[in-house]
Amino acid sequence: WYGDKVFGGVSADSTVHGHDHVDVGVLGEHGVVGRGILLDVGRLKGGKSGRLPVSSCVTLDDLKETAKAQNVTVEKRDILLIRTGSVGRFYTDTPDAPWSATT
């Protein structure tokens, strides 16, 4: 999501339940197989908290730096799981804490 658009610049109003255009569920119904790699960007760039600050963006350079720090080589068709630490806010912040600079 970025503003009122989803991946590819498609209006969020055009999606079913807000996720149809970007839903990977259809792929999951048939199965996905590949080498999975966890890139822990939150741990590398998030300081003591282990989480990226609100409104942070993860860049290609961040992913490359994290892979290098973890001594991992990312190859074609690898499936990346990118940890930012944001889920920790659910457990530690107040329910109304902002998740972005615009809220």
C-alpha to C-alpha distance for 41 and 85, rounded to whole angstroms: 8
Q: Percentage of the chain surpassing pLDDT 70?
A: 66
More confident: 24 or 101: 24
Together in a domain, 25 and 58: no
Give the pLDDT confidence score for residue 80 in this predicted structure.
Answer: 93
Q: Are residues 46 and 76 in the same domain?
A: yes
Whether residues 40 and 25 fall in one domain = no
| Predicted confidence band of residue 102 (pLDDT cuts 50, 70, 90) | very low
The model's pLDDT over 18-45, given as tens digits with 9 standing for 90+, comes to 555 566 666 677 777 889 999 999 999 8
Does the pTM exceed 0.85?
no
- 83 alpha carbon, distance to own chain's centre: 7
Range(s) of the domain holding residue 53: 34-96
CB neighbour burial string for 19-38, b if at least 16 within 10 angstroms, e if fewer: eeeeeeeeeeeeeeeeeebe
Residues 27, 39 share a domain: no
Tell me, what amino acid is at 73?
T
d(CA 19, CA 32): 19
pLDDT per residue as tens digits for the range 54-71: 778 899 999 999 999 999
Give dist(CA 36, CA 20) in Å, integer. Answer: 24
Is 102 domain-assigned?
Answer: no
Average pLDDT over residues 3-27: 65
As for how many domains the chain has, the answer is 2
